[in-house]
Amino acid sequence: MLLKKTMLLVFSSTVLVTSLYSSSILADESGDIIKYRKNVMKSLAADSRMIKAILTGKISRKEDLKAAANSLAAKSKMVKDNFPEDSDFGDTDAKAAIWENKADFEQKSDALINAAEALYETLKKGADASEIEKKYAAVGKSCKGCHKKYREK
């Protein structure tokens, strides 16, 4: 009987300590994920600005265009997974609507992925400037579509 009570006490204590430790990890992880996703978004914006500078002729580094588009396409795939539950507070510009309308947010994230991949594929096949500009405009439209609904500012 004493052994059962001791085992129950040890088990209960373990569960309590584990849950307290887990919730503190989640709290720290939440702040870290916000910082991480901000860096992902800043990086996407930087890739987009590089592409725009080249397409508008402000920078004459056409040899960088494909690499920047490839980077944009790769990072676009990181967006939706960086908005997990419990990361809707703290130093973030994300609106609560992301978590309230998760399916719509994920659909908009998929639109970004598709647009970014289409831009990269268009560049890979050596399409003309008009086609490239259309694909780049579609990337911008997908960014704005999500930001308008799900980002503060």
SS3 13: helix
Q: What is the mean pLDDT of each run of 10 residues along the chain (153 residues)?
A: 54 46 46 90 96 94 94 96 85 90 95 98 91 96 93 87
Fold type of domain 2-150: Four Helix Bundle (Hemerythrin (Met), subunit A) (1.20.120)
Nearest to 108 by CA among 75, 77, 147, 146: 146
Q: What is the pLDDT of residue 1?
A: 60
Q: What is the pLDDT of residue 90?
A: 80
Q: What is the pLDDT of residue 127?
A: 81
The span from the CA of 34 to the CA of 41, in Å, is 11
Strand locations in 48-89, DSSP E?
none
Q: For residue 88, what is the DSSP state?
A: S
With a threshold of 0.75, does the pTM exceed it? yes
**Which two tokens mark 57?**
């002729």
- At position 81, the amino acid (one-letter code) is D
Strand-pair partners of 151: 94
